[in-house]
Structure 1
Amino acid sequence: MGGLWNELGKKLAERWVSLLVLPGALYLAVAFAARTLGRGHPLDIARIAREITTFAAGPEMTGLGGQIVLLVAVLLAAAAAGTVATAVGTLVERLVVADGWRTWPAPLAYLAGLRAEHRRTRWDAADRAYHERRKRAMAPDPADRPAPALLRAAARRRARIAPERPERPTWSGDRVQAAALRLDRDHRLDLAVLWPYLEPVLPEALSARIAEARAALVRATTLAGWALLYAPLARWWWPAAPLALVLALAARHRVRSSVDSYARLLEVAARLHAPALAAQLGIDHTGPLTDDLGARLTHHLRTESPPPPEPPDRAPDGRTRAVPAARSDG
């Protein structure tokens, strides 16, 4: 048992160092450079070296106690910066996935609605262009048919806006929503209703892949959180601006990639393993997922709303009549 706790402690320490301390230490280094160099000497590395040498030669740093205090202070500050970046990343995730965006505070919900409407307009235009080319591709005369590459290019332009007709203000939000839309359209299956019951019965390998895709999304949004933390440093030190931009672009790419993998795995899990869940629930079905099974699963698993309160029993004179307590004959 002691070996298990030691191994668990090592893994937690490794995650603490890799996720919080190391990125936080880099952030502290950039902040120190911004404070030391400022706008006047943005690339003067020798100036930083002199500042560090002067600080290290100070009387408070010559003793072991001062060095320990400095090390602890740096570790705590780095961990604090990492915690802030993680919290900002959580907010970024909520914004990019945009689940329930209509319930956001008034200014955000209004702007998100405008964004969603603009994306729908663009998607509709791209969808019309795609279907026009597809219709031409079915022309009887081969000379009138467009090149297959043009049809694929039209499909890619539409997919860059959203995989399905947009309902949310972001691509990532619509990518997750697309999995639910396809399952509802193809099999009349409500993914939001099914998932809490399906997730515990998935095979271990598939569950691990879904968990890894979800963790990759968290890491990507945390990287976006770091980009937002680096951006204010550009006010004092301009090299922080390109650093924040690079982190933001990398975070955008990683968010889209991880969201695409996560949504794809959700759809795969539902299509492949919904019949197995139906068998565990006692629903008679053989074969793959069908429209009938999807509708039966959704109806079986959906939780009904609480019933309305019953009106009080009133006496003929209009006063509320007391309901007698149940008698016990025992």
Structure 2
Amino acid sequence: MSAVLAELGRQLAGRWAALLLLPGALYMCTASVAVLLGQGDALGFGRLGGWLDSVAAAPASGRFGTVLIAAAGFTAASAAAGAAASGAAQLVERVWWASGEEPLLRLLTARRSRAWERAEEDVRAALREFTASGGAPRQARALRAAIVRRDAICPEPASRPTWVGDRMYAVDQRVHEGYHLDLTAAWPRLWLVMPDAARAELVAARTGCGAAARLAGWGLLYVPLTALWWPAVVLAAGVLVAARHRARLAAAVQADLVEAAVDLYGRDLVVRLGIDCPGRLTPEAGDAANSLLRKDRTDLSRFGG
């Protein structure tokens, strides 16, 4: 037992260092540079060398106690920055998965909805041209490009303030349209039906979304430094762009895996619920499952419930 606890402690320490301490140390170094250089001499890195020389020449720098206190303070500040980034990451995830009821988020939702409708109009126009041309290659390419632009916003009509939220909500809509299954109510039971390998893939995808949110949290933490040191704009923008890219990749993988899980194991779920489903999962079986899962006879999912 002692060996197990020791190994667990080492793993937790390594994870803590990777997720919080090391990025926090980088952030604290950047914040120190921002304070020392400021906006007036933002690229005067020669001043940093002089400051380090003055610190090294100070009498207190040769004392072990001083060095130990400074190291402990730097470590504590790095951990605090990591905790702040984790808090920002939770806020980012709340926005990603939000339904868009809040006033500001409603504006974002309306903006995305208008963009999707314009893209859908382009698809319809391209489809009319493709049909009128008798399937000419040029019109076919234009139609494919219009579909790609529309699906880049959302595969279904946009109804969430962010791409990530829309991508997952589209899965819910597609599952309901195809099987009449309320994915929100069915998912905990479906999770228990799935084999370990499938669950491991879904956990990995969800972990990727969490990692992207943490990266976005660090990006938000760099934004205030731009008021002190303008090169921090490059750092903040680079981190946020990378977080956006990683979030879209991870959310797309997670959405595809969730939909695949319903396709592959949805019938197993309804059978385990005692519903007769001799072949593929049908809308009738999905309606029957909804009544059991919700413990009532009303399928509220079609009304957005």
Fold shared by both chains (TM-score > 0.5):
yes
Alignment of 1:84-233 (within 5 A): 84-99=84-99, 101-102=100-101, 109-139=102-132, 141=134, 146-233=138-225
The one-letter code sitting in structure 2 at the alignment partner of 1:279 is V
CA–CA distance in structure 1, aligned partners of residues 150 and 37 of structure 2: 47
- Correspondence for 2:300: none
Output the CA distance in 1 between the equivalents of 2:233 and 2:111.
29
2:244 to 239, 249, 252: 252
Distance in 2 (CA, whole Å) between partners of 1:163 and 1:141 is 26
Task: For residue 21 of structure 2, give the secondary structure of its aligned residue in structure 1.
Answer: helix
Code of the residue aligned with 2:107 in structure 1: it is L
**Could you say if the C-alpha distance between residues 134 and 9 of structure 1 is closer, same or farther in structure 2, counting changes exceeding 3 Å?**
same
> Is residue 190–residue 298 contact of structure 1 (8 Å, CA) maintained in 2?
yes
Which residue identity is paired with 2:62?
A: T
Query: Contact conserved, 1:220 with 1:254, CA < 8 A, in 2?
Result: yes
- Cα deviation digits, residues 122-152 of structure 1 (max 9, x gap): 3223213213322443448456x75321111
Question: Which position in structure 2 is the counterpart of 1:239?
Answer: 231
Q: 2 CA distance for matches of 1:9 and 1:57?
A: 39
Following the alignment from structure 1 to structure 2, what is the Cα–Cα distance between the partners of residues 28 and 81?
Answer: 8
Instruction: Supply the distance in 2 between the matched residues of 1:33 and 1:140 (Cα, whole angstroms).
Output: 62
Matched to 1:122, the amino acid is: A
1:197-245 superposed Cα distances (whole Å, 9 cap, x missing partner)? 1112321111111111111111111111111111111111111111111
Q: Residue 30 of structure 2 aligns to which amino acid in structure 1?
A: V
Match of 1:317 in 2: none
AA partner of residue 60 (structure 1): A
Task: Give 1:262 deviation, angstroms.
Answer: 1.2
Cα RMSD (Å) of the superposition? 1.9
Distance 1:35 1:195 in 2: 49
Structure 2: distance between partners of 1:248 and 1:142? 42
Per the alignment, residue 47 of structure 1 pairs with 47
In 1, Cα distance between equivalents of 2:54 and 2:275: 76
1:9 corresponds in structure 2 to 9
Structure 1 residues without counterparts, runs of 5 or longer: 103-108, 306-330
Distance 1:49 1:170 in 2: 44
Matched, 1:18 2:18: yes
TM-score by length of 2: 0.91
- CA distance, structure 1, for counterparts of residue 267 and residue 70 of structure 2: 59
Question: Could you list the runs of 5+ residues in structure 2 that have no partner in the other structure?
Answer: 298-305
Retained in 2: the 8 A contact 1:39–1:237? yes
User: Which whole-Å CA distance do the structure 1 matches of 2:57 and 2:275 have between them?
Assistant: 76
The code of the aligned residue for 2:105 comes to A
Q: What do residues 91-118 of structure 1 show as CA deviations (whole Å, max 9, x unaligned)? A: 011112223x31xxxxxx2232233223
Partner of 2:303: none
Q: 10-19 vs 134-143, which deviates more? A: 134-143
Check the 8 A contact 2:222/2:232 in 1, yes or no.
yes
Structure 2 distance, partners of 1:61, 1:70, is 10
Instruction: Look up the equivalent residue of 1:173 and give its one-letter code.
Output: G
Secondary structure of the structure 1 residue equivalent to 2:275: coil
Paired with 2:184 and 2:36, the residues of 1 have a C-alpha distance of 52
The structure with the largest helix share of the pair is: 2
User: CA 1:49–1:200 in structure 2 vs 1: closer, same or farther (change >3 Å)?
Assistant: farther
Name the CA distance, whole Å, in 2 between partners of 1:98 and 1:79. Answer: 29
1:130 is aligned with what amino acid?
A: V
Amino acid at match of 1:134: L
Distance 2:287 2:106 in 1: 31
Partners of 2:242 and 2:50 lie apart in 1 by: 33
Contact in 2 for aligned 1:161/1:171 (Cα 8 Å):
yes
Partners of 1:272 and 1:288 within 8 A in 2:
no
Distance in 2 between residues matched to 1:213 and 1:188, nearest whole Å: 25
Q: 1:304 and 1:296, CA in 2 relative to 1: closer, same or farther beyond 3 A?
A: closer
Q: TM-score, normalised by structure 1?
A: 0.84
> What is the distance in 1 between the residues matched to 2:184 and 2:23?
35
Structure 2 match to 1:27: 27
Alpha-carbon distance in 2 for matches of 1:216, 1:142: 41
Question: Percent of aligned positions with the same letter in both sequences?
Answer: 38
Deviations 1:258-302 (A, max 9, x none): 111111111111121112222322223223322122112111111
